[in-house]
Amino acid sequence: MGIWSYFLRRLVQIPLVVFFVTVIIFALMKVTPGDPIAIMLGPYATPETMAALQAEFYLDRSIPLQYVLWVRDLMSGDLGHSIRSQELVTDLVATRFPVSIVIAGMATLVSLLIAIPAGVYAAYRRNSPWDYGLMGFTTVGLSVPTFTLALVLILFFALKLRWVPISGIGLRTWSDGFAAFLLPYVLPVAALAVTTIAELARIVRASMLEVLEQEFIRVARAQGIGDALILVAHALKNVLIPVITVIAVVFAFQVGNTITIEYLFSIPGVGSALIAAVINRDFPVIQGLTLVVGVFFIAMNLLADILYAVVDPRIRYG
């Protein structure tokens, strides 16, 4: 199957997936045990405010009609507003999403910068202490939850050594100086990066081992080309293919992974907004944020597919 028919098939699937995503998010509010309006407004709600909210959520209509009207509002860019603060969900997304994206992007970048050289070197020095050390690190790194790791980092680097602050993201700007702006990012990004460093280092090591076995590497060695040049010029190019294809997935994973980190470091991102909404039982915010994240992930998955196809011409589309 050719590349274009593969894309076409993926594209055709997307509307159905998006439809189900909206159904899931719509259902979130329908499966609530009890009356969602009463839960949201609390015990002191007046009948008038309850009736107003009921009309706003179309709760006086049949369930299929509620869904249709809700989707119609979504299409016109109306994601509703917070029950607590009256803030528009679209405004909330506009202020919170970039914060999470920046942190997830930094974590992805740091992961790549560390995992690629580490994995390449481990494969080059296979079965060396370095190789075993890295494999041990990846095993543990994939097992320890991000937030427990973050607590340990806080204990040592923020409280004992006092090298970096615990909070401050979103409070300082560039005008406070480069270090003051950047330092609060160190611990959250480090905690986030560990899991993906472990994941990526394994991928890099495995594909590097495969490449090093191949004929053209042996030819290059026989020609007397130095190991460093072989690794960088010949092998690395082939190793980057599997890495590039997973970058979008890693990035998307980080956006989802920030939730405990945002809570722990008081970062004003999507994750902390969602937690606050869940605690307040603020249904429009829960639905709006979940929807935006869902659409974002669909886009990232599509990007991953495109990168996959562009970078690796050997892939069969089936």
Judged by the rule CB under 8 A, the positions of this chain that interact with another protein are 13, 16-21, 23-24, 28-29, 31-33, 139-140, 142-145, 147-148, 151-152, 154-155, 159-160, 252-253, 255-257, 259-260, 263-264, 271, 274-275, 277-279, 281, 283, 286, 289-290, 293-294, 297-298, 301
Beta carbon nearer to another protein, 239 or 277: 277
Nearest to 95 by CA among 186, 11, 192, 170: 170
Beta carbon nearer to another protein, 161 or 228: 161
**Residue 255 beta carbon to another protein: minimum distance, rounded to whole angstroms:** 7
**Cα distance from N-terminal residue to C-terminal residue, the chain:** 6
Query: Positive or negative, the Cα torsion across 39, 45, 47, 50?
Result: negative
Beta carbon nearer to another protein, 110 or 291: 291
**Residue 168 beta carbon to another protein: minimum distance, rounded to whole angstroms:** 17
**Residue 279 beta carbon to another protein: minimum distance, rounded to whole angstroms:** 7
**Residue 181 beta carbon to another protein: minimum distance, rounded to whole angstroms:** 25
Q: CA separation (Å) from 164 to 47, 84, 177, 217?
A: 51, 34, 15, 44
Per 3-state DSSP, the chain is made up of helix, strand and coil in percentages (nearest 5) of 75, 0, 25
**Residue 272 beta carbon to another protein: minimum distance, rounded to whole angstroms:** 10
Determine contact, residues 195/145, Cβ cutoff 8 Å.
no
d(CA 142, CA 160): 26
Residues in CB range of 207: below 8 A, 6 or more apart: 238, 239, 241, 242
**Residue 172 beta carbon to another protein: minimum distance, rounded to whole angstroms:** 23
d(CA 114, CA 197): 7
**Residue 283 beta carbon to another protein: minimum distance, rounded to whole angstroms:** 7
Residue 316: is it exposed, middle or buried by C-beta count within 10 angstroms (0-12/13-18/19+)? exposed
Beta carbon nearer to another protein, 17 or 55: 17
Beta carbon nearer to another protein, 142 or 217: 142
Beta carbon nearer to another protein, 202 or 234: 202
Token pair recorded at residue 147: 């937030």
Nearest to 242 by CA among 290, 272, 274, 210: 210
Beta carbon nearer to another protein, 74 or 220: 74
